[in-house]
Amino acid sequence: MATPEGPLVVGVDSSTQSTKALVVDAATGQVVASGQARHTVQTAHGQESDPEDWWNALGEALGRCGDIVHRAAAVAVGGQQHGLVTLDREGRPVRPALLWNDVRSAPQRDRLVEELGGPQWWAERIGSVPPPAFTVTKWAWLREHEPEAAEATAAVRLPHDFLTERLTGYGTTDRGDVSGTGWWASASGTYDERVLEHVGLSPGLLPRVLGHGEAAGTVRDGLPLPAGALVATGTGDNMAAALGLGLRPGQPVLSLGTSGTVYSVSEHRPADPTGTVSGFADAGTRWLPLACTLNCTLAVDRVAALLGRDREDVEPGGSVTLLPFLDGERTPDLPYASGLLHGLRHETTGGQVLQAAYDGAVFALLEALDKVFAGDAADGGNAPVLLIGGGAKGTAWRETVRRLSGRPVQVPRAQELVALGAAAQAAGLLLGEDPAAVARRWATAEGPAYEAVERDEPALARLRATLGGADTLLRRPH
């Protein structure tokens, strides 16, 4: 491996399933070392994780990077969004964190939206109509169902906040990640007093929101990183991935992971009263309108396992449709839904059913794409879709996106974009540069490009008809 040309930085991706750490040459973007450690997700009552697992996994991941990690001059953490981390006065978790994909708070969400002025009020003031994924709904659930835990809480954090605070000793967050809580107002750029009062959350329990380019602090003594190394603000995983791509306004991104997301950087503050698009801030000074589905690669892999097929073992043709809403769904807003299979025939093959699962997962994302671009100049559908996430490596995922979108597709060669984005943020802080410009200098978005193909309008029509015809069934609690 070549000798690094510049100072070294560390980028961290603390996701639902694992923590990954990259040691990166700040000058070239070369990854000089990497490490990974898995988390435990508890599913007995919902989707939960002990935040201490994240901290231990970060130590393991850094340890697997080798001694070179001790030469790092700066670090930043990208973390899964929305998770509710409740800490006591000693900074220890009061209970396991409620993760982004825990939708037990759907009833509390419904009441919050209604009691505080309806969807239009939330969109105009907060920037998003909160789905059950948002942190504010989880806090409302906790106060209702576990009041003793809420009472014992001395600090409320997001996952990336928790890890950053363990590194520095200071409670901080950034505008990107905090814009997914539901208690930070994008219209004012501040915590919203009315929302906090309504859910009984003192602003004193929340971290300070740092400005773009502001340091969160420095690494404390006794940690597996050099004491005194700069710690950047960190951000949410989607914001970090956008940084990792060096994303410019108007470029569509489709991320295929545990969740599916479609987003773009925008100059315009989003405010979608339908709730399809979350009006996130990005990790800089712009905005990141984003639509997210709960069911993506894991749901399709589950269908493949039920069929006894490899995930690439798809077959074209047939008239079957499958909406793989195995964990309820966020986009469309169907928290009580389950998977729905329609149109089976004697001649239907297992490969066609599997392809239908891919179609259903991609369809939900593409339906939100036009709303993501609302307020920005229309691109006529010609801009290439940047395809990222674990699913981007799969031929079946890529070809399904091409066939159902009718757009060209580009697959960046760079891997671990969340960790790379965090590394770019750390490098930007260290070098005094814009992190997105750092990532563009690293050429992270370069990769194979695939031309547009004719859009499969019959498949899209079948999917829309299935979704519309089953709307009442999908909205019914099971």
Residue 361 near residue 260, CB atoms below 8 Å = yes
How many Å apart are CA 135 and CA 142, to the nearest integer? 11
Given the structure tokens 């089976």, which residue do they identify? 344
- Closest by CA to 175, choosing from 208, 202, 199, is 208
**CA dist 294 to 90, 148, 184, 417, Å?**
34, 30, 23, 20
Given the structure tokens 């195995």, which residue do they identify? 326
Given the structure tokens 């990336």, which residue do they identify? 160
- Closest by CA to 35, choosing from 47, 18, 15, 21, is 21
Q: State whether the Cα torsion 189-193-199-203 is positive or negative.
A: positive
Catalytic residue among 53, 102, 237, 282: 237
Ordered DSSP codes for 64-82: TT-GGGGGEEEEEEEE-SS
**Other beta carbons within 10 Å of 349:** 16
**434 is a catalytic site residue:** no
Exposed e or buried b per residue across 378-403, where buried means at least 16 C-beta atoms within 10 angstroms of its C-beta:
eeebeebbbbbbbbbebebbbbbbbb
> DSSP character for 116?
T
**Cα(first)–Cα(last) distance of the chain, in Å?**
55
Q: At what angle do helices 51-63 and 159-168 cross, to 10 degrees?
A: 60
Q: At what angle do helices 106-115 and 135-145 cross, to 10 degrees?
A: 110
State the catalytic residues.
Answer: 237
